[in-house]
Amino acid sequence: MAALPHRKTDQTAGLRESLRSDRLALEQNYLLHGKSARLLSAHSRLIDQYLRRVWQNIAMPDSISLVAVGGYGRGELYPKSDIDLLILLDGEPDSVLQQKLHDLIGVLWDIGLEVGHSIRTVAQCLNESADITVQTNLLEARLLTGNANLFRELHDAVRQHLDLRRFFSAKQREQQQRHKRFLDADFNLEPNLKESPGGLRDLQTVTWICRAAGIATRWADLADAGLITPAEARQIARHDTLLQTLRIRLHYLAKRREDRLIFEFQTSLAEQMGIAASANRRASEHLMQRYYQTKRAVLQFNTILLQNLHDHLFHETPTVHPLNERFMVVGTLLDIREGTDDTSPLRKRGAGGDLSPPHDKSLFDKTPSAIFELFLLMEQHPELTDLSAKTLRALWRAQHQIDAAFRKDPLNRARFMEILRQPQGVLHALRRMNQYGILGAYIPAFGRIVGQMQHDLFHVYTVDEHILMVVRNLRRFSVPQHFHEFPLCAQLLGKFARPEVLYIAGLFHDIAKGRGGDHSQLGKKDARAFCKLHQLSHDDTELIVWLVEQHLSLSATAQKQDMSDPDVIGKFAAKIKNDRYLVALYLLTVADVRGTSPKVWNAWKAKLIEDLFRQTRRYLRDGRVADQLGEIRRAATTTLNLYAMPPDTYQLLWAQLDDSYFLDHEAQEIAWHTRLLAFKVNTATAIVKARLSRTGEGLQVMVYCPDQRALFARICVFFARMNYTIVEAKIHTTQHGYALNSFQIMEATRSKTVYRDIMTYIEFELTQQITQAKPIAPAATGRVSRQLKHFPISTEVEIKPDHKGMYVLSLIAGDRPGLLARIALIMDQHDIRLHRAKINTLGSRAEDVFWISGAILAEPEETRVFLDELREKI
């Protein structure tokens, strides 16, 4: 909207101050009583009064109308929401009316009303209503002031032009598109209260269709109409109220229209709502768990109500055929057969036309074992797309049937295992069971983590959704169309007997999050109890329990330890009972890391994890670490022979390289370095070369030059300014005093820059900076991520000697641009030499390991000063 002129009259100023005062009084009153519906209605009435007053002050003609539309039209105006208005004309405006309309909008903005307005005739409204959003707004139109006859003409015209079936289909399609749009952020830690699946829009979609059909839109009225039960009406009203409360308070806290539950306000919201922290969880985590439970319930109600409304309005007769004595197929939906269930999606009308209440007993009340039978049938019949509303309702109400007796029933235990052993549909079954509260009821430990947040700076899903993402990733390894993503995983899973043990390990690996203590140790107890109840074999039980206990070990070893050290491989291999254990741990690890966040997994992590898997497998097969040094030298020589480079051409270079260099690098890296340096061993100028990483993501950069003070710090600052992250650094000093450093780098934010241009830039600019050796200006620290700002983590720094005469510095801190460069500068200031670094970034969390040496490290007091400085400056 173009800038509107300000009219600083006394009257306008008075209205602006009066409106501000009245809105403040509403806010203070709301914070006292906390009644959301009352606030939304009162705010709408207040704005009505000011709009009518301005309309009268400007003396708008009686022939036109001022109409509220959208949320304001239905009397639900949130504190910072736009005020949607329609100015309804009886014809094309002349110049006098155009000026008045201009003045009206200007005054409204001047007094502090953020209006969104349209100016149309009835005919124009009807033309625009081809857009489903406009048509929906017009259905909620409410006359504020002006020509009542003209408004009635609009109301009647909108009703006459409404095609109910088309409207229903359009709103369903609109909802599906919205859900798809928010799919990636569905269970992220900052959900949208209005637009996310299970948000206010899902409830409004139902009421819009009811309004279009002429059905009352209050939840209690829908119960009277037989679309839901009174108990369901009360439940949905409670969930609606929670979403309204969160959105109202969010607007007041943010002092703007903010519909996302962003980190900045989660703690304040929890405090306002009287939610306290517990021993192991923040108040904000309790708040968000309540939100996620409401979200799940809203999705459930939305599905039931849309199905019921469709049946109620259109009376279609789908094809029906029985599956067994308890279930049948209606169209593409699984339904409970008539005679086995006394609840129907729409209550039957009695002789007098009244709606008779539903009976108390459903199939699941009489035969609880049918609950798991239902999910098994959904797996076995892929033509089924969903459950009928009647079945959904019965399933929702049957949660209480899953009690201790249900869990002890051998038939139910056998059926649950059968669900996990099906060749297809396992993930969908588990997701449905979680959505309808069945999974958490059957496995109470799982129920406790439903909707539980994880403020560890790298998980972007709630615990239950992360667990199901891990199962999803495991299942994906077995789907042919996804074999290309992880060929090794697909090959391994294809030969893995009884893959259900992996799914069970996936279900339990994080099930003890939030209890306090080591979740791996607590979770393995739950896993063992589950295996015993479900009569799994001793071998499978021990594997599952071990996987839950060790599920972090492979990833931690690969990303934080020196895998060129045979002792590291031997120590890790000692934990592995046999090849089946190793394969299972590898598959679970890949699925787990991929399931934390789309940004955490990358090709470099994939390579590290696969390298450790292959080295450990070889160790288990041969009973020892192979002659790694000899093998690497021979493999590098073979590669160089392909480039017509006989050994005598690089004998001088290799004579300057000690065994640690060959053990630290792969054969193809050594061959690349050798081809570049064989004839430049004693060069006086720096050599910087870059190539595409063999992992398929990022770049590999080699730096060779006479060693100089703070070289590593200079390189770190250079890459930090480029917005590139160093994920691994191998620092080597040759026998004749040259630095031969190798870096694996990845772009922090993926852009469309051509790698060839980046490589050319690195090779030229970094060479210049090393050659000129100017004083190092620290890289900009950059902005801290919002999540790290509001949920900071304590910096942890630890240093230990290793068996090679070096020291291992482990660091955990909140990640930010320039972090590694600052660490490198501090090391240089204390004359500490870096030999190797593994840089592990998990979302906003850095977990880095450095192999270092230096005289001060042998002195406890000087080491303490160094560590204190690291903590302070990081």
* DSSP codes, 519-531: HHHHHHHHHHHHH
φ, ψ of residue 754 in degrees (nearest 5): -75, 130
d(CA 833, CA 827): 7
**pLDDT band, residue 625 (cuts 50/70/90):** low
Pairwise CA distance, residues 600 & 603, whole Å: 10
Question: In 233-245, which positions are buried (b, 16+ CB within 10 angstroms) versus exposed (e)?
Answer: bebbbebbebbbb
In tens, the pLDDT along 71-103 reads 999 999 999 999 999 999 999 999 999 999 999
pLDDT band of 140, cuts 50, 70, 90: very high
Higher pLDDT, 661 or 505: 505
Q: Is the confidence at residue 184, as pLDDT, over 70?
A: no
Separation of alpha carbons 548 and 570, rounded Å: 22
Least confident span in 261-265, 306-310, 450-454, 524-528 = 450-454
Per-residue pLDDT, 361 = 57
Does the pLDDT at position 7 exceed 60? Answer: no
The DSSP code for 697 is S
What local confidence, expressed as pLDDT, does residue 790 receive?
A: 62
pLDDT band at 353 (very low <50, low <70, confident <90, very high): very low
Looking at residue 350, what is its pLDDT?
35
Pairing of strands 386-387, 333-336: parallel
Q: Over the chain, what is the mean pLDDT? A: 89
**pLDDT level of residue 397 (50, 70, 90 thresholds):** confident
pTM above 0.85, yes or no: no
- Report which of 83, 304, 305, 296 is spatially closest to residue 209, judged by C-alpha positions: 305
Bigger pLDDT: 490 vs 462: 490
pLDDT of 815 reads 77
Share of the chain above pLDDT 90, in %: 63
Looking at residue 780, its pLDDT comes to: 65
Separation CA 505–CA 523 (nearest Å):
10
Give the pLDDT band (50/70/90) at residue 207. very high
pLDDT (0 to 100) of residue 357:
34
Contact 378, 429 (CB under 8 A): yes
The strands making up 333-336's β-sheet, listed across from edge to edge, are: 320-322, 327-330, 333-336, 386-387
Q: Report d(CA 738, CA 686) in Å as an integer.
A: 10
In the 8-state DSSP scheme, what is residue 192? Answer: B
Q: Residue range 614-625: average pLDDT?
A: 85
Q: Is the pLDDT of residue 246 over 70?
A: yes
Q: Which residues have a Cβ under 8 Å from the Cβ of 83 and sit 6 or more positions away? A: 47, 51, 68, 72, 77, 113, 114, 115, 116
Q: 567-582, pLDDT tens digit by residue?
A: 889 999 999 999 999 9
Residue 360 has pLDDT above 50, yes or no: no
| pLDDT for residue 5 is more than 50 | no
The pLDDT, as a whole number, for residue 626 is 61
Confidence of residue 773 (pLDDT cuts 50, 70, 90): confident
pLDDT class for 274, splitting at 50, 70, 90?
Answer: very high
What are residue 632's phi and psi, to 5 degrees?
Answer: -65, -45
pLDDT of residue 185: 46
pLDDT at 358: 41
For residue range 29-67, what is the model confidence (pLDDT) as tens digits?
A: 999 999 999 999 999 999 999 999 999 999 999 999 999
Mean pLDDT of the 672-680 span: 95
Q: pLDDT for 311-351, tens place per residue?
A: 888 888 889 999 999 999 999 999 998 766 555 444 443 33
For residues 854-860, give the mean pLDDT.
Answer: 87
Three-state SS sequence of 604-669: HHHHHHHHHHHHHHHHHHHCCCCCHHHHHHHHHHHHHHHCCCCHHHCHHHHHCCCHHHHHHCCHHH
Phi, psi of 543 (to 5 degrees): -65, -45
Give residue 4's pLDDT. Answer: 42
Q: Contact, 87 vs 117, CB < 8 A? A: yes
Q: Which of 260, 265, 269, 255 is nearest to 114 (CA)?
A: 255
pLDDT (0 to 100) of residue 598: 72
Taking a C-beta distance cutoff of 8 angstroms, is the pair 371, 419 a contact?
Answer: no
**CA pair distance 484, 599, nearest whole angstrom:** 20
